[in-house]
Copies of this chain bind each other. A is one copy, B any other.
Amino acid sequence: MSPKRAASGEAVPGGVWLREPGPASRAPALTRERIVAAAVGVLDAGGTEGLSMRRLADALGVHATSLYWHVAHRDDLLDLALDAVFGEVALPAAPAQSWRAEIGAFMGELRAALLRHPWSAALAVSRPLLGPNALAHSESVYAALARAGLAGLDLRAAAAAVSTYVIGSAAAEAAWRNQGAAAARSAVNDHLRRNADRYPTLAAHAVTGEEDWEAHFARGADAFLAGLATPRPAGPATR
């Protein structure tokens, strides 16, 4: 695990400073951590499409093919970068608060992390979340819901729904923000108003000005948590 001993020679006190840091003393130059950190940077800058092996290699001062020593495919990079985003979300310190407060807090924090990296939510819906950070959060959500008395299919469905709602909302928000934003929004409004005969309710109720995404999200999350708290009709299918 420790890096190889630096090049040999007589032990001269203070010699480190005099010797050229020969190739043997260079740390591996590339590590998974460095690669993943750089990948997150490239993704933040250019989105999923902007992440190419060559561009990432450039950012690391290295040839593209070198990356394949540390990583099997480009896809692995995406999975690793995504789990790094989950790693930005703190795990609940004290399990003292109510399950509802704990899960509500988790939802808010996960949303914030996903929005800090606008490429991440779209990625999170499209691949199994099995990285250590994602699993750690999954575990704490399961634990909180189990404390709430859920089990079996109810528990699994509730846990899945929690992350589905957060990730899906963040992905939608990121998708809207990505594009021209203001320009796009007014184009949509125009379109709806021009076709008010086909879309009367949309024309009357859909967005007009600046969306308050956070209030929007919180409203849905509230409704959703209220639903989870509602006792299920104890049908025979409950296992």
Chain A positions within 8 Å of B, measured between CB atoms, are 121-122, 125-128, 130, 135-136, 138-139, 142-143, 146, 151-158, 160-161, 164-165, 167-169, 171-172, 175-176, 179, 184, 188, 191-192, 198-202, 205-207, 212, 215-217, 219-220, 222-228, 230, 232, 237
Main secondary structure of the interface of A (DSSP, over half): helix
CB distance from A160 to the nearest CB of B (A): 6
What is the CB-to-nearest-CB distance from A119 to chain B, in angstroms, rounded to a whole number?
10
CB pair B232 A171 closer than 8 Å: no
Alpha-carbon distance between A228 and B135 when the two chains are bound, in angstroms: 29
A228 in contact with B223 (CB, 8 Å): yes
- Cross-chain contact of A164 among B165, B184, B200 (Cβ < 8 A): B165
State the number of copies, please.
2
- Measured CB to CB, the closest approach of chain B to A230, in angstroms, equals 4
Is the Cβ of A130 less than 8 Å from the Cβ of B191?
A: yes
List residues of chain B with CB within 8 A of the CB of A130: 188, 191
CA distance A200 to B140 in the complex (A): 10
Q: How far is the CA of A160 from the CA of B217 in the complex (A)?
A: 9
From B158, B220, B237, A215 is in contact (CB under 8 Å) with B237
Measured CA separation A165–B152 after assembly (Å): 20
**A198 adjacent to B136 (CB under 8 Å):** yes
Closest to A231 in B: B226
Please report the C-alpha to C-alpha distance between residue A157 and residue B211 in the assembled complex, in whole angstroms. Answer: 11
A155-B205, A224-B161, A227-B225 in contact; A128/B176 too (CB < 8 A)? yes
Chain B residues within 8 Å of A169, by CB: 160-161, 164
Partner of A168, one of B168, B202, B216, B226: B168
Interface contact A127-B175, CB-CB below 8 Å = yes
Are A128 and B175 in contact, with the CB atoms below 8 A? Answer: yes
